Amino acid sequence: MWHDGVVTSTPLATDLASCCSPVTGGVLDQAAADRLALMFRALGDPTRVLLVSLIAAHQDGEACVCDLIEPVGLAQPTVSHHLKQLVDAGLITREQRGRWSYYRVVADSLTNLARALRQVPDPE
């Protein structure tokens, strides 16, 4: 055995235990866990996080795919692929207008994601 069986608490572990709540306030059901995993998977790519930020900050909270290509520095098909992942995860919506697709962040999607992790009751 590589240790004597005694577990000591490190200063970091003690600090974390005293300041931070657990990841969730309760156990998620499978459907909620699946939804959260899909959202986190979509946000697990820095390009997708940047795209959400660009869309949210764009005029009127809406951006055409043509407006997103240059800021991320990727080809249009690659940007469209990333946007599809975000749409599939429920983080943004897509509206086709003629030749172009316009994207908008789903209202409160990121807030709801954070709330689900904290299990904070809705303030109604």
- pLDDT confidence tier of residue 122, bands split at 50, 70 and 90: low
**pLDDT tens digits, 75-100:** 999 999 999 999 999 999 999 999 98
CATH class of this structure's domain 11-118: mainly alpha
Model confidence over 3-23: pLDDT tens digits? 444 443 334 334 434 444 445
**All structural domains of the chain with their residue ranges:** 11-118
Task: For residue 42, count CB atoms less than 10 angstroms from its CB and return exposed for 0-12, middle for 13-18, buried for 19 or more.
Answer: buried
Angle between helix axes 30-42 and 109-118 (nearest 10 degrees) is 130
One-letter amino acid for residue 76 of the chain: Q
Transcribe 70-92 into DSSP letters. HHHT--HHHHHHHHHHHHHTTSE
